[in-house]
Structure 1
Amino acid sequence: MPTFSDRIDGLRPSPIRTVLSVVDRPGMVSFAGGLPAAAALPAWSGSVGPETLQYGASEGEPALRRAVADHLHALGVDTTADRVIILSGSQQGIDLVAKLMIDAGTITAVDDPTYLAALQVLRLYGADFTGLDDTGLADASLAYVVPTFANPTGACASGPERDRIADTCRENGTVLFEDDPYRELAYADVDRTPIVARMHGASWIYQGSFSKTFAPGLRLGFMTASPDLFDRLVMLKQAVDLHSSRLSQQIVLDAITGSGWQDRLDSLVDFYRDRRDGFDELLRTYFADLADWTSPPGGLFFWLRLREPMDTRRLLDEAVGRGVAFMPGEEFYAGPPTLGTMRLNFSHADHDDADRGLRILADLVAERFDRRGS
């Protein structure tokens, strides 16, 4: 019998990946993962030279790193191209930061609820969780935040709230890790200035992704960090996969430096805003008496709070059996979960599928309410 590491005892399968395994079933309507709409994915007809198929630098392709650094500098982030790493997806970035910062018992501040896959990685390395209030930040070695169109809630932190987090982390020596994959998908005029732009003289890490604005199948993201952390992150990257796909990097570079990139972003925002608004109308049709929610100012998710508390994890199998997938909200809590919450993705399903799926899901919730009341 093999002997496994101690951390494996705390490893659980990702419910997101489990749910996504059924998405391709015929007739399945998925509100589960943050899948872009198929119609929003790009076509690519470029060509590559032989150098693109050779080994490359761990930090990534120089031209892509420059493009990312220029973009971040315009947002107020204090970085340069030589402090940018190209990641094999932002999930790799979370793993690198956890390896850098987390030992068993390391106090880590997070929103509650927060991104499920980040919780999975942080738990794997032994993090103990606290909140993002001033007391929690004062005690924490690391703070993981998704302040702009948060996963799962869709909420966007205000300017004063961003100031508070930056000031408290700086005063207490807490390393701030800002995960920002949704910032380009803004449907309202809100403060999206990265918190790390307020962190001069402190320790911070910032990452983004090309999955939501371009193509998730390329598995490409980016990371930058304050000078005291960057070199260690590069060494960790070298130990994991040497470098990210050079072909993926070339495809992304061609896209984001092309003349049509801003037009693509503008069209994407308009497309998803329409889907969000249509989804909100359907929620009002089917869930008005069952749940409360706020239309998100950006991102890809609605966060529902059912009028009666129930563990929505127990609804999932029956929902999938009826042809609908969703993410139980209880999975997104670092501590004891708030019962009766659901994360619904609005970007993937078209209007007809969303109508059918929400009607089925509402019927299922209403049946559970009736059973509890009888």
Structure 2
Amino acid sequence: MLSERIERLRPSPIRRILAVADRPGMVSFAGGLPATETLPSWSASVDPSVLQYGPSQGDAVLREAVSAQLTALGLDAPADRVMILSGSQQGIDLAAKLLIDAGTPTAVESPTYLAALQVFRLYGARLVGLDQVGGGGARLAYAIPTFANPTGRCASPAERDTLADACLRSGTVLFEDDPYRDLAYAPLPATPIATRMRGGSWIYQGSFSKTFAPGLRLGFLAASEDLFTPLVMLKESVDLHSSRLSQRIVLDAIESPGWPARLAGLVDFYRGRRDPFAAALDRHFAGLAEWETPPGGLFFWLRLTSPIDTRTLLDESLRRGVAFMPGEEFYPGEPEVGHLRLNFSHAAPADVDRGLATLADLLREQAA
């Protein structure tokens, strides 16, 4: 089940000691901790202890808060199986280190998240389709079932049941990446696949980047009991722990009485950007492409009616002042030519019409 490199990994005794160093009455002569009294107190509202070393799994109170949210979704995710990550891409890297050796069959959607493909390829994965999971042809299955990147699609309950059943029958580890769950613009049945994985091996991952602040580089994961401890050991070997200051900022935010209102406001704000973007697509891309208005997330996925490898358009588009993501980059194998991923959350409404008009003109020129 696990990669060859995990056999060479041993728990860090220093990390075990640091995890209890703040316990009342503890006298530590072990780790290289500076005196807490010497740490800067640059904000009256921030305890200087957040600038000290901390547990690899993350701040205990933040893990409890994340655990409560995940448990409410139906996940078997007690706080002692929740880890705070230095960005959700770290979770992908840890899972790849744990499970992937050169040539390991790794099942992914097509298309799927570009950064995940980069990590899996780095570790030598042999990328296959999710349809190969049931036959035992994959060690790891990576999926973004809720508002997928890049397509924005939300998997149906039946599709979620099918993937969970295939993983359980074949012993495949499910990695469910779920950073967009809170950005749902209409009610949808989107219970995590990992809730269906009782008795199986799974990793469930989320992020604070889309709902709070990407610059803090903070995400989280929960995992089945058989995977969590080696994942913690791997994190110990990478960065000891995620920024405690970032963790405190996030904890203060999600425990604030205003957090539910913030999430509701985000949904309203992004819906207010999605809908005018869809109208602008109708104006400029009619006849050039086909698309569906995404029910959540941050992206439109366009299929060009006259397929062009959109990677060849990027340089000229940038020269004209418009950035986009070529769709071909999101395919694990031979790309399906003629797709674009367009983000609708960032550009100001006043710029959307001009940008889409420029991009549509470029496509017409290329088609001609």
Structure-2 separation of matches of 1:138 and 1:152: 27
2:316 alignment counterpart: 318
Structure-2 separation of matches of 1:114 and 1:134: 16
2:57 alignment counterpart: 59
| Structure with the greater alpha carbon radius of gyration | 2
Task: Pick the aligned partner of 1:262 from 256, 260, 263.
Answer: 260
Give, as a single letter, the amino acid of the residue that structure 2 aligns with 1:255: A
Highest RCO, 1 vs 2 (Cα 8 Å, sep ≥ 6): 1
Unaligned runs of 5+ in 1: 1-44
2:166 alignment counterpart: 168
Structure-1 separation of matches of 2:198 and 2:129: 23
Task: Pick the aligned partner of 1:300 from 298, 301, 321.
Answer: 298
CA contact (8 A) 1:186 1:269 kept: yes
The reply to whether residue 346 of structure 1 matches residue 344 of structure 2 is yes
Residues 131 and 197 of structure 1, relative CA distance in 2, 3 Å threshold: same
Quote the offset at 1:132 in angstroms.
Answer: 1.1
1:287 alignment counterpart: 285
Matches within 5 A, 1:124-163: 124-133=122-131, 138-163=136-161
Q: Aligned residues, how many? A: 326
Quote the offset at 1:188 in angstroms.
Answer: 1.4
Structure-2 separation of matches of 1:230 and 1:332: 29
Matches within 5 A, 1:126-275: 126-133=124-131, 138-275=136-273
The reply to whether residue 114 of structure 1 matches residue 109 of structure 2 is no
Range with greater deviation from structure 2 (90-99 or 185-194): 185-194
TM-score by length of 2: 0.87
Structure-1 separation of matches of 2:307 and 2:44: 52
CA contact (8 A) 2:110 2:331 kept: yes
Deviations 1:161-190 (A, max 9, x none): 000000110000000000000000001111
Structure-1 separation of matches of 2:358 and 2:85: 39
RMSD: 1.0
CA contact (8 A) 1:109 1:136 kept: no
CA contact (8 A) 1:147 1:178 kept: yes
2:73 alignment counterpart: 75
Quote the offset at 1:137 in angstroms.
Answer: 6.1
Structure-2 separation of matches of 1:222 and 1:333: 26
CA contact (8 A) 1:103 1:127 kept: yes
Q: Which runs of 4+ in 1 moved over 6 A?
A: none
Deviations 1:22-69 (A, max 9, x none): xxxxxxxxxxxxxxxxxxxxxxx9821110000000000000000000
Identity %: 68
Structure-1 separation of matches of 2:96 and 2:181: 23
Task: Pick the aligned partner of 1:50 from 44, 48, 66.
Answer: 48
Structure-2 separation of matches of 1:189 and 1:123: 36
Structure-2 separation of matches of 1:84 and 1:197: 15
1:17 alignment counterpart: none
Residues 141 and 49 of structure 1, relative CA distance in 2, 3 Å threshold: same
Unaligned runs of 5+ in 2: 1-42
Structure-2 separation of matches of 1:333 and 1:136: 21
Quote the offset at 1:79 in angstroms.
Answer: 1.2
CA contact (8 A) 2:83 2:222 kept: yes
Deviations 1:88-143 (A, max 9, x none): 00010000000000000000110000000000000000000111125666311100
Structure-2 separation of matches of 1:334 and 1:97: 18
Structure-2 separation of matches of 1:357 and 1:97: 38
Q: Does the residue aligned with 2:111 lie in a helix, a strand or coil? A: coil
Q: Does the residue aligned with 1:133 lie in a helix, a strand or coil? A: helix
Give, as a single letter, the amino acid of the residue that structure 2 aligns with 1:322: R
CA contact (8 A) 1:104 1:127 kept: yes
Give, as a single letter, the amino acid of the residue that structure 2 aligns with 1:229: L
Structure-1 separation of matches of 2:136 and 2:226: 20
Structure-1 separation of matches of 2:287 and 2:307: 14
Structure-1 separation of matches of 2:70 and 2:97: 25
Give, as a single letter, the amino acid of the residue that structure 2 aligns with 1:345: N
Structure-1 separation of matches of 2:134 and 2:303: 25
